[in-house]
């Protein structure tokens, strides 16, 4: 974790050999899970519990072993029951690896109540 503040986070992850697929590029599921983690950190850090309702990812560049991924999650729309976050995943060269949009549903409980 690099930075966390209300409805925002920036996290980093080094890419290791066991994260690669058969083509020796980062497995899409690893990239998706990393983006989903950024969504969770940014949408739950106010203490109000939220769960993913819908997530869409576009892969724009293949990652490789030795890369360092960064995911930045920014709130773009907030209503009483839902919120939408844009998450961009970049590598150490600031190249866009993936664009992820996540919608969360606010379940009406505090994170500490779960």
**Cα–Cα distance for residue pair 101/45, rounded to 1 Å:** 18
Encode pLDDT of 70-106 as tens digits.
999 999 999 999 999 999 999 999 999 999 999 999 9
Give the global pTM: 0.96
Encode pLDDT of 33-64 as tens digits.
999 999 999 999 999 999 999 999 999 999 99
Question: With DSSP H G I counted as helix, E B as strand and the rest as coil, what are the percentages for the chain, rounded to 5?
Answer: 20, 50, 30
């Amino acid at each position: 974790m690099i930075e966390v503040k209300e409805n925002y986070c920036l996290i980093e992850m080094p890419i290791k050999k066991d994260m690669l697929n058969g083509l020796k590029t980062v497995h899409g599921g690893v990239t998706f899970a990393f983006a989903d983690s950024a969504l969770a950190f940014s949408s739950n850090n106010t203490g109000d519990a939220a769960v993913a309702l819908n997530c869409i990812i576009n892969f724009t560049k293949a990652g490789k072993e030795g890369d360092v991924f960064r995911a930045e999650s920014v709130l773009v729309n907030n209503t009483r029951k839902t919120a939408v976050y844009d998450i961009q995943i970049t590598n150490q060269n600031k190249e866009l690896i993936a664009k992820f949009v996540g919608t969360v549903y606010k379940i009406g409980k505090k994170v500490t109540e779960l």
